[in-house]
Amino acid sequence: MLSLGFSILLSLAASTAPSFVAARNVANVLIYSATAGFRHDSIPTAIEEMTLRGPDHGINFDNTEDTNKFTDDYLSQFDAVFFLSNTEEVLNARGKVALQKYLDNGGNFVAAHAATNCMQNWTTMERTLGSYFQYHPAFQNATMVVLDPNNPSTSGLPARWNVTDEVYNFTTDPRNLGAVVVLAVDEDSYVDGSKGSSAQGDPHPIAWYQEHLKGTNSSKAGRSWYTGLGHSNSSWKDDTFMGHIFGGIEFAILSNTTRAMNPDGTVGSLGPVWTPP
């Protein structure tokens, strides 16, 4: 196991593609894209683009849609698990047990778009995600508002970011679980006939993180990060959007709870060392 001779420099500069600011092990991230309901045609594009761009961020991606792969041994090699636009019941009983143990051992959790529409009868998932999807109006232009310009997932975004996407509404306010909202939407910037009917709080949350994810009571809890954006293929080919995504992944891995950053971690990558360019 590698020793932690890492100098961690937490000065996160604005960039369209924020990067780690610490030497560390190359991180391993699992993309889980299984669906049991509606399936986004952007899923293959998302996997392709993350895999292609990963080496520039010192990240190796693996991907699966097989719930039977969710075992203790398999998950233990990853510094984060990324739930990508999953819908409905995508984990069997054994998979839920394995994911719970992974989170208990300090594993980090990242999710995008429709992932808040999966496993809606499992409290662990709700607490890990921060909230569940309720509905969205038509795919349209909307203006996102950066609430925290220092988070890696938002440091490369303009203060007001115009996107074309689905604006998700959520069943609860993720801030009720201690989540920190880093990106909101200006509700005057788009059309929604049901606006104001959700219990998601104000400002309307779009992306957020949990410093210690609530899907586990373990003292070793890692981080979680979620964005509601990512409906279309064009989003996943957009450099600004991908900076948002990689910033979220990188923020999660900086939890110091997995081997990418912490040699005493019980899950995550064992090497090699990667140094930011």
Of the candidates 224, 108, 243, the one whose C-alpha atom is nearest the C-alpha of residue 174 is 224
> DSSP secondary structure string, 115-148?
GGEE-TT-HHHHHHHSS-EEE---SEEEEEEES-
**SS3 state at 112:** strand
| One-character DSSP codes across 70-99 | --HHHHTT-SEEEEES-EE----HHHHHHH
Range of the domain at 204: 24-271
Q: Is residue 16 part of a domain?
A: no
Query: Tokens 């788009």 label which residue?
Result: 190
pLDDT for position 134:
97
CA distance 200 to 137: 15
- Asked if residue 18 is part of any domain, the answer here is no
Residue 5 lies in a domain: no
**Angstrom distances, CA of residue 129 to CA of 49, 123, 170, 173, 194:** 23, 10, 11, 11, 23
Domain count, the chain: 1
Q: What was the pLDDT predicted at 81? A: 99
Alpha helices in the chain (DSSP H): 43-53, 72-75, 93-104, 123-129, 233-236, 239-253
The percent helix, strand, coil of the chain (3-state, each to 5) is 25, 25, 50
* pLDDT values of the chain reduced to their tens digit, one per residue, 277 residues: 322 332 222 233 233 334 445 678 999 999 999 999 999 999 999 999 999 999 999 999 999 999 999 999 999 999 999 999 999 999 999 999 999 999 999 999 999 999 999 999 999 999 999 999 999 999 999 999 999 999 999 999 999 999 999 999 999 999 999 999 999 999 999 999 887 778 999 999 999 999 999 999 999 999 999 999 999 999 999 999 999 999 999 999 999 999 999 999 999 998 899 988 7
Position 94 in a domain: yes
- The residue type at 152: P
pTM of the predicted model over 0.85: yes
Six token digits for residue 199 = 């219990």
- Cα separation, 102 vs 109, whole angstroms: 10
Evaluate whether residue 113 is within a structural domain. yes
In a domain, 167, yes or no: yes
CATH of the domain at 64: 3.40.50.880
Cα Rg, the chain, nearest whole Å = 17
The reported pLDDT for the residue numbered 128 is: 98
Identify whether 159 is part of a domain. yes
Residue 139, strand partner residues:
none
Asked if residue 6 is part of any domain, the answer here is no
